[in-house]
Amino acid sequence: MERRTNHRALTDNDTLGGRISLARDASALSLVTAAKMVGVESDVWSAWENDRSEPAHAYMETIAASLHVSGTWLATGFGPGPRWPSDEALF
C-alpha cells in the first residue's frame, strides 16, 4: 500500500526517523541546526533520524513545527508533510 503526502510517495516501510530525516532535508536544515532549534544535541537528533531512539512525546510538536510539517504527519505519515522548494512552483 502506498500513501502520498504532497507529491512524495511513502510506503508501509517508512518510519518516524525516516519522516524526520525527509522533513529536515525538505526544510534544507543541517542536522546541527535542526537539533538546536528543538533544544537537543546533534547526536540525539541523529539517533532519531536513524531509528535508534524516538523523541519523547513532548518534543513531537516542536519537531513538527521546526520542520514545517504537521504533528500527525510526523507521527503517522498521514496529513500535511514536507514541502520541497520545487513544490512552491505548484502552489
Does pLDDT of 5 surpass 60?
Answer: no
pLDDT of residue 31: 97
Give residue for cell 546533534. Answer: 42
Band the pLDDT of 69: cuts 50, 70, 90: very high
Length of the chain: 91
**Cα separations in angstroms, 75 against 19, 37, 69, 80, 87:** 8, 19, 10, 11, 22
- Cα angle: 76, vertex 48, 75; to 5 degrees: 10
Does the structure show a pLDDT above 60 at 12?
no
Q: Would you state the torsion angle of the CA atoms of residues 33, 59, 55, 46, taken in this order, to the nearest 10 degrees?
A: 0
The 10s digit of each residue's pLDDT in 19-62 is 999 999 999 999 999 999 999 999 999 999 999 999 999 999 99
Higher pLDDT, residue 62 or 79: 62
- Which pTM was predicted? 0.80
